[in-house]
Structure 1
Amino acid sequence: MKNSDGVLKSAPAAFVFGPFRLDCRRRVLERDGTALPIYPRAFDALVTLLANRDALMSKANLLDRLWPDSTVGENSLARIVSDLRKLLGDHGDAIVTVPRQGYRFDGAVRIEAPTEPSAEARTVIAVLPFQTMGTETDPLLALGLSDALIARLSQAKALVVRPTTAVAHYRDDAVPLADAGRALEADLVVAGHVRRQGERLRTTVQVLDVASGATVWAEQVDDNGADIFHLEDAIAQRVAAAPMLRHFVFPERIRTSDARAYELYLQARALISQRTIESLARAGTFLQESVDRDPRFALGHSALAETYMLRSLASMVRDSRPAIELMPLAKAAVGEALAIAPNLPEAITIGAFIGFCYDWTFRAAEQSIVYALQLAPGNSMAHHYYAIGLSAMRRHDEALEQIRTARELDPTSTVVNVNVGATLYWAGRFDEACAQLKSVVAINPDSAYARFRFGLALDAAGRFDEAVATFDALIAMPGANMHGTVGRGHALARAGLLRDARRDLDRLHVMAGECYVSSFYLAEIHCALGETDHALVLLEQALGERPVMMISLLNNPKFQPLADDLRFRRIVGEVGLV
Structure 2
Amino acid sequence: MNYMSPEQVRAKELDTRTDLFSFGIVLYEMATGRVPFRGGSSGLIMDAILNRTPVAPILVNPDIPPALQEVIRRALEKDINLRYQHAADMRVELQRLKRDIDSGQRPAEEETGSVLIPTPSYLYSTDKRRARTPSVGTAALRQRRVSKIIDSLAVLPFENASGDPEREYLSDGITGSLINVLATVPKLRVMAQSTAFRYKGREIDPQAIGRELNVRAVLTGRIVQGGGSLRIWTELVDVATGCQLWGAQYNRKPSDIFVVQDEISNEISGKLRLKLSRAERKRLTRHHTQNAEAYGLYLMGRHHWNRWSEEGFYKAIEYFQQAVEKDPSYALAYTGLADSYVLLGWNSYLPPKEAFPKGKAAAMTALQLDPDLAEAHTSLAALLWLHDWQWEEAETRFKRSLELSPTYPTANHWYAEYVMTMGRQGEAIATVKNGHELDPLSLIINVAVGWAFYLARRYGEAIEQLRRTIELDPNYPVTYWILGLVLRKTSSYELAITEGERGVKLSGGSPLMRAALAHTLGAAGRTKEAFQMLDDLTKLAKQKYVAPYFFAGVHIGLGENDRAMEYLEKSYEEHSHWLIYLQIDPSMDGLRDNPRFQDLSRRVSLPALMAAIPT
Q: What is the TM-score when the length of structure 1 is the normalising length?
A: 0.75
**Residues 375 and 561 (structure 1), Cα distance of their counterparts in 2 relative to 1, 3 Å cut:** same
Identity %: 30
Q: Supply the AA of the counterpart residue of 2:582.
A: L
The whole-number CA distance in structure 1 between the counterparts of 2:518 and 2:599 is: 26
- 1:481 Cα deviation after fit: 4.9
SS at match of 2:237: strand
Q: Counterpart of 1:289?
A: 322
Which of 440, 443, 455 is residue 484 of structure 2 equivalent to? 455
Q: Kindly tell me: are residues 416 and 243 of structure 1, through their superposed partners in 2, closer, same or farther at Cα, counting changes over 3 Å?
A: closer
The residue number in structure 2 matching 1:376 is 405
The alignment status of 1:131 with 2:159, answered yes or no, reads yes
Do the aligned residues in 2 keep the contact of 1:122 with 1:158 (CA within 8 Å)? no
Match of 1:303 among 318, 321, 336: 336
Q: Please, which of 506, 510, 513 is the counterpart of residue 535 of structure 2?
A: 506
What residue is the counterpart of 1:433 in the other structure? 462
Partners of 2:327 and 2:343 in 1: CA distance: 23
- Give 1:253's aligned residue: 286
Q: CA RMSD in A?
A: 2.4
1:372-521 equivalences in 2 (<5 Å): 372-521=401-550
> Match of 1:450, SS?
helix
SS of corresponding position for 1:564: coil
Structure 1 residue 123, shift from structure 2 partner: 2.1
1:379 and 1:129 map into 2 onto residues whose CA distance is 18
Partner Cα distance (1:478, 1:557) in 2: 23
Give the AA of the match of 1:465.
E
Mapped to 2, the partners of 1:442 and 1:185 lie a distance apart of 19
Which of 165, 172, 175 is 1:143 aligned to? Answer: 172
Structure 1 pair 574/295, CA: closer, same or farther in 2 (3 Å)?
farther
Out of 273, 276, 287, the residue aligned to residue 306 of structure 2 is 273
2:231 is aligned, of 202, 205, 211, to 202
- Does residue 219 (structure 1) correspond to residue 248 (structure 2)? The answer is yes
- Between 545-554 and 516-525, report the one with greater CA deviation: 545-554
Partner SS state of residue 400, structure 1: helix
Q: C-alpha separation between the residues in 2 aligned to 1:528 and 1:418?
A: 24
How far apart are the structure 2 equivalents of 1:183 and 1:168? Answer: 14
TM-superposition CA deviations, 1:478-513 (whole Å, max 9, x none): 514534422221112222333332222222212223
Deviation at 1:358, TM superposition (A): 1.7
Aligned-partner SS, 1:219:
strand
Which deviates more from structure 2 when the two are superposed, residues 329-338 or residues 507-516? 507-516
Displacement of 1:428 in angstroms is 1.6
Structure number having the greater helix percentage: 2
Residue 383 of structure 1: how far off its partner (Å):
1.7
Q: 2:389 aligns with which of 357, 360, 363?
A: 360
Give the conservation status (yes or no) of the 8 Å contact 2:150–2:272. Answer: no
- Give the whole-Å Cα distance in 1 for the aligned partners of 2:544 and 2:497: 24
Query: What SS does structure 1 have at the residue aligned with 2:198?
Result: coil
Task: Select the structure that is richer in strand.
Answer: 1
1:121–1:159 contact (8 Å) kept in structure 2: no
Q: Which residue of 1 aligns with 2:106?
A: none
Which whole-Å CA distance do the structure 2 matches of 1:265 and 1:523 have between them?
Answer: 39
The structural deviation recorded for 1:254 is: 4.5
Partner residue, 1:345: 374
Between the aligned partners of 1:354 and 1:121, the Cα distance in structure 2 is 41
Q: Distance in 2 between matches of 1:403 and 1:475?
A: 26
Alpha-carbon distance, 1:211 to partner: 3.1
**Cα separation, 1, equivalents of 2:487 and 2:254:** 58
Q: Kindly report which structure 2 residues correspond to 1:84-99, keeping only aligned pairs within 5 A, or say none.
A: none
CA distance in 1: counterparts of 2:328 and 2:215, whole angstroms: 37
The separation in 1 between residues aligned to 2:352 and 2:600, in whole angstroms, is 18
Per the alignment, do residues 273 and 168 of structure 1 end up closer, same or farther by CA in structure 2, a change over 3 Å counting?
Answer: farther
- The structure-2 alpha-carbon separation of the partners of 1:117 and 1:308, relative to structure 1 and needing over 3 Å to count, comes to farther
How many angstroms apart in 1 are the aligned matches of 2:149 and 2:581?
37
1:432-451 per-position Cα deviation (integer Å, ceiling 9, x unaligned): 21222122123321010001
Contact 1:157 1:378 in 2 (8 A): no
CA distance in 2, matches of 1:134, 1:391: 45
> What residue ranges of structure 1 are gaps of 5+ in the alignment?
1-115
Output the TM-score relative to the length of structure 2.
0.70
How big is each residue's C-alpha offset from its partner over 1:128-150, in whole Å with a ceiling of 9 and x where there is no partner?
22112234682211211111111
Q: What letter matches 2:312 in structure 1?
A: S
